[in-house]
Amino acid sequence: MFAVSAAAVLVCMVLAMLRAVLGPTAYDRVLALNNIGTKTVVLIAVLGFVNGRPDFLDLALAYALINFIGTIAVLKYIEYGDLGASAPRETGTE
Amino acid sequence: MMGDIVTVVVWLLLLSGGFFMVTGSLGMVRLPDVFTRMHAAGMVDTMGAGLTLAGLCVYSLHDGTGLVAVRLVLVLGFLWFTSPIATHAVAKAALSGGTTPYTVGDARLRAGQAGAGPDGAGEGRTGAAPDSTRKAPAEDERGRGDR
Amino acid sequence: MNRAPWLWAILFALWLVLSWHFTPLFLFFGVVTCSIAVLVVTRMGILDRESLPLHLAWRAAAYVPWLVWEIFKSNVRVARIILSPRIRVDPSIVHFQASQRTDLGRFIYANSITLTPGTVTTGIVGDDFEVHAIVQEEIDGSEENTMNRRVARLEGEAG
């Protein structure tokens, strides 16, 4: 039954990849990329159960965090063109 | 007996999780612009991943590997904490990057019907926004932007 | 309330759960690691009500299940939109006032809005929330108000 779930996740990754390839703006691609990352986390978790040894969950845990950091980093690079740039302070709570 | 019930529950959770995930991914392909696609991506992040991991969680609890269940809950917790922040970051970057959100008016204009809402309907109402020009089309279209 | 011991306890519990080795060597490593982490965090001065909101823990236990149910409902709504043969979306950006008093409350509210599919917080200035909704009706309803009230209650009297 886990194989079915893994297949579903793979289909979803293909769809998201389609959006990443098509996606007119860079933001579409980043969104699709972030989504593929989420699905990878789920896929790692499910594959652990498919193989009967769910020891890879620590990898999923780490991947969830890396994926998040990666998305933020890419967005920052698109927005400021420099990863070391500090965001301009805006008035009010942001 | 107990095992049968658990199997059925796990199947249900995995299938519904897969359903939401496929639907969300389909939405990412079908919906018209970044902002609407974000909602579809949110579906994958919340219910798609949530129900699938919940299914794995139930299975591992029945299997007697409670540690695995704890880890699954942690994974889900991280996902649900980071997903809205990433989505918000995409939305904010897209807005400040000059992407105008798709509205129904755009579609009508593109279809040549020129049916956009009357201009100026939203004037003054959007005055509070520091950047009202950007989203004026969206609000004019509906004429009832805020509550 | 001194938060450092609480942080240490939480980190060490996490260490124990993730490692699940109870040999003296591993316990020693855990103690050292958690202590260094707590030391660094204390020296950076980022350990406060916002970074470790312990005072919300009990009320959050009631809020989270409600939020999950909300997420489920809006998931079904968005799924219906996506699966309909012809996509009928009516996206718009709306502004409204939130009634939370602290930044932490606003943060929780904004993230809750974004976490429910169909609505994404695109910006906050002071009290003013800027939210993108996939269909206008999604945000016109009373649900957003309910969530606003619930987060304000979660935030508590202490502010």
Helix A26-50 vs helix B34-43: angle between axes, to the nearest 10 degrees?
A: 10
pLDDT per residue over C100-139, tens digit each?
A: 888 888 888 888 888 888 888 888 888 888 888 888 766 6
pLDDT in tens, chain A (94 residues): 889 999 999 999 999 999 999 878 888 999 999 999 999 999 999 998 888 877 788 888 899 989 999 999 998 888 887 777 776 655 544 4
Q: Annotate C101-147 with DSSP letters as a single string.
A: -SHHHHHHHHHHHHHSTTEEEEEEETTEEEEEESBHHHHHSTHHHHH
Nearest by CB: C103 against A58, A91, A93: A93
Give the mean model confidence (pLDDT) for residues B3-28: 91
For the stretch C45-60, pLDDT in tens is 888 877 778 777 888 8
Q: How far apart are CA B34 and CA B101, in angstroms?
A: 8
pLDDT digits (tens, 9 = 90+) for C59-73: 888 888 988 998 898
Which residue from A61, A57, A93 is spatially nearest to C130, judged by alpha carbons? A93
Is B75 in Cβ contact with A57 (below 8 Å)? yes
Domain boundaries, chain C: 4-44, 57-155
Q: Which amino acid is residue C74, in one-letter code?
A: S
Q: What are phi and psi of C94, to 5 degrees?
A: -120, 155
Q: Is A92 on the interface with C (CB under 8 A)?
A: yes
pLDDT tens-digit map of B116-131: 343 333 333 333 334 3
pLDDT of C143 reads 66
Q: What are the chain C neighbours of A93 within 8 Å (beta carbons)?
A: 103, 106, 124-126
Q: Of B89-93, B108-112, C5-9, C48-52, give the lowest mean pLDDT range.
A: B108-112
* Residue B119 CB neighbour total at 10 angstroms: 10
AA letter at C84: S
- Quick one: closest CA in B to A10, which residue? B22
How far apart, in whole angstroms, are the C-alpha atoms of residue B115 and residue B109?
6
- The C-alpha atoms of residue C54 and residue C13 are separated, in whole angstroms, by 16
Q: What pLDDT, on the 0 to 100 scale, is given for residue A17?
A: 92
Query: Are A27 and A7 a contacting pair, CB within 8 Å?
Result: no
- pLDDT at res. B109: 62
Give the list of residues 6+ apart from residue C70 with CB closer than 8 angstroms, or none.
C112, C116, C143, C147
CA A36 vs. chain centroid, Å, equals 5
Structure token digits, residue A90: 């805006």
Please say if the pLDDT value at position C15 is more than 50.
yes
Alpha-carbon distance B14 to B139, whole Å?
Answer: 40
Among residues C90, C123, B27, C119, which one has the least CA distance to residue A35?
A: B27
Rg (alpha carbons) of chain B, rounded to whole number: 21
Question: What number of residues does chain B have?
Answer: 147
Question: In 3-state terms, what secondary structure has residue C97?
Answer: strand
- Contacts for A10 with CB less than 8 Å, ≥ 6 apart: A43
Minimum mean pLDDT range among A53-67, B97-111, C30-44 = B97-111
Looking at per-residue pLDDT, the higher value among C98 and C156 belongs to C98
CA distance B22 to chain A (A): 5
Q: What is residue C92's DSSP assignment? A: E
Q: Smallest CA–CA separation between C61 and chain B, in Å?
A: 14
Inform me whether the C-beta atom of residue C125 falls under 8 Å from chain A C-beta atoms.
yes
Residues in chain A with CB shorter than 8 Å from the CB of C18 are 58
A-contacting residues of B 51-110, CB under 8 Å? 52-53, 55-56, 59-60, 65, 68, 71-72, 74-75, 78-79, 82-83, 85-87, 89-90, 93-94, 96-97, 99
Name the residue ranges covered by the structural domains of chain B: 2-99
* List of chain B residues whose C-beta atoms are within 8 Å of the C-beta of residue C146: none
CB atoms A12 and B25 under 8 Å: yes
Q: Tell me whether C124 touches chain A (CB under 8 Å).
A: yes
Our CA-based measurement puts residue A39 at a distance from the nearest CA of chain C, in whole angstroms, of: 17
DSSP B47: I
Taking CA–CA distances from A90, the nearest residue in chain C reads: C125
